[in-house]
Amino acid sequence: MSQQLGGQPIIIMREGSTTTHGQDAQNSNFTAARAVATAVQSTLGPRGMDKMLVDGIGDITITNDGVTILKEMDIEHPAAKMMVEIAKTQDAEVGDGTTTAVILAGELLKNAEVLLKQKVHPTSIAEGYRMAAEKSLLLLDKYAITVKPTDTAMLKKIAETALTGKNSDVAKGHLCDIIVRAITFVADADGTADLAHINVEKKVGGSIDDSALIEGMVISKDRAHPSMPKIVKDAKIILLNAALEYKKTEVNAKINISSPGQAQAFLDGEADMVHSMVDKVIRSKANVLFCQKGIDDVAQHYLAKAGILAVRRVKKSDMDNLARATGAQLVNSVDAITAKDLGAAGLVEEKSLSGDEMIYVSKCKNPKAVSIIIRGGTEHVVDELDRAIHDALMVVSVVVAGKKIVPGGGAPETELSLRLREYAATVGGRNQLAIESFASAMEIIPRVLAENAGLDPINMLVDLRAAHESGKKTYGLDIIAGKPADMLKAGVVEPLRVKTQAISSASEAAVMILRIDDVIASSRSAAPGGMPPGMGGY
């Protein structure tokens, strides 16, 4: 990159750097961002298609989850990477609506390009888009319907909408029941539900119908010793964060042994130390022990003789969830065990699932942590089911916390499009053109839903607009009937936060890309190990 100064070129950037100015930079960014939106467009809605992604080492992912597709794609262009960030933010915040957010951002940029050709300044468009996004959030809040966290029928409909279009369609009713029960168990008094307290175990084998909710924890471990009982009913559980093994000295010490008797006495002393530790566990009247650290052979022998089922080297996260599920307190020393620290479960047993041994801690009374076992015929089915269940768990938890929903099927987008056009007329000036463009972009969602279902998008949009103009605010696109229908009656509902987050993320990203008028790319640095220029030779 160089500048002319009095006829003399002044080089200000390293050789190999490139710059793209003005209209060229904007066109490049818009094209890249819209290409990303187009890549996921066909996956939207109940009739959306799947993508097969093959990575560099040949691993296959089959999915129609927007964020998974974009994460797996090897994207180079900086503006396209910003579109991927929209999907990641949407997924982290609300778990669903990733495809909607990306498609919306792509359409906002497409409409902005038209305005730029009409000589509307990017700042005016950006200002209009911000005003439209703020107005949209206010309109949606008024449009939303309040639901009670105890309304399980409505929560199941929300889960069902999140699962629709995924491979899990075949067992939707069963899965929705699992999802809503899981959230109901782990939700705190204020309505917040941390998904870290729902342990999801994926096991290939069986069918999707074999997926189950365990009212307690499932841990991917086996018993510490084969002589220990496989099944323990009315379990009294200790959670121990200390090793049941001989304690080595903290400092280097030398022990001089001069006879075989002394060696045996030393070894017996070690065994006695471990025996006394195990005695403290036995005296607590516990019959199940989960240890975060190691249990040595001697301790295993004594525990097995006492009929205690012990599991060693359990993960910290599993220990925390076991405490929530059983009511046990995590104990950091064998000497500190008291009767109050013990937890309870109706049943603890070791089971074999798809060839792997697992410990089931079930029939817990009011567990605040639960497990979901996901089953399916192939690894790809199980992986996609895991993604679908994660999305559904997220949206149900968002509704339990936020208590507000909106109809699906393109209903809120159609309503927003009409109301934003009315709002634009009151604003005037160049911002009005940008707000009208924003309103037009909203209609991309019902349009794509119609296209993916093989319906005529123009006819569907006209019918939807007519329904909303006549006051039918909850009318969206009924894919099966091929006409507008009441989405609330049909049970097609989504959390309000999915929509507000999608609109916020899409508008912010579109404004950021819109305001870029120069792309300055540095030259790629030399490979590691190469000599700096001018250093080759003497």
- pTM comes to 0.79
The CATH code of the domain that includes 282 is: 3.50.7.10
- Do 341 and 273 belong to one domain? yes
Mean pLDDT by 10 residues, the chain (538 residues): 55 62 74 86 85 84 83 82 88 86 93 89 91 94 89 89 73 87 87 87 86 91 90 92 70 64 56 78 89 88 90 92 92 86 92 88 90 89 88 90 89 94 88 93 93 91 93 90 90 91 92 79 54 45
List the catalytic residue out of 61, 63, 98, 161: 98
The answer to whether position 151 is within a domain reads no
Q: Are residues 356 and 265 in the same domain?
A: yes
- 198 C-beta neighbours (distance < 10 Å), count: 22
224 and 362 in a single domain? The answer is: yes
Determine which one of 65, 91, 383, 478 is catalytic.
65
What is the structure's pLDDT at 535?
45
Query: Contact 448/99 with Cβ under 8 angstroms?
Result: no
**Residue 150 falls in the annotated catalytic set:** no
Q: What is the pLDDT of residue 270?
A: 60
In the prediction, which pLDDT does 534 show? Answer: 46
Those residues with Cβ within 8 angstroms of residue 384's Cβ, 6 or more apart along the chain or in another chain: 62, 63, 65, 166, 167, 168
486 as an active site residue: the answer is: no
Q: Which residues of 372-401 are buried (b: 16+ CB within 10 A; e: fewer)?
A: bbbbbeeebbbbbbbbbbbbbbbbbbbbbb
**What does the alpha-carbon distance between residue 172 and residue 243 come to, in Å, rounded to a whole number?**
44
pLDDT at residue 10, rounded to an integer:
62
Tell me how crowded residue 248 is: count the other CB atoms within 10 A of its CB: 6
Together in a domain, 123 and 257: no
Burial 447-474 (b: 16+ CB within 10 A, else e): bbbbbbbebebeebbebbbebbeeebbb
CA dist 300 and 171 (Å) reads 43
Task: Tell me which residue range forms the domain holding 105.
Answer: 20-146+407-521
Do 421 and 358 belong to one domain? no
100 catalytic residue (yes or no): no
Q: In this structure, is residue 309 part of a structural domain?
A: yes
Given the residues 391, 414, 463, 478, the one annotated as active site: 391
Phi (first) and psi of residue 155, to 5 degrees: -60, -35
Is residue 375, in this structure, part of any structural domain at all?
A: no
DSSP notation for 309-346: EEE-S--HHHHHHHHHHH-PPEES-GGG--GGG-EEEE
Cα dist from 300 to 57, 226, 357, whole Å:
43, 10, 18
- Is 98 marked active-site? yes
Instruction: Give me the catalytic one of 43, 89, 99, 414.
Output: 99
Confirm whether 170 is domain-assigned. Answer: no
Q: How many domains in the chain?
A: 2
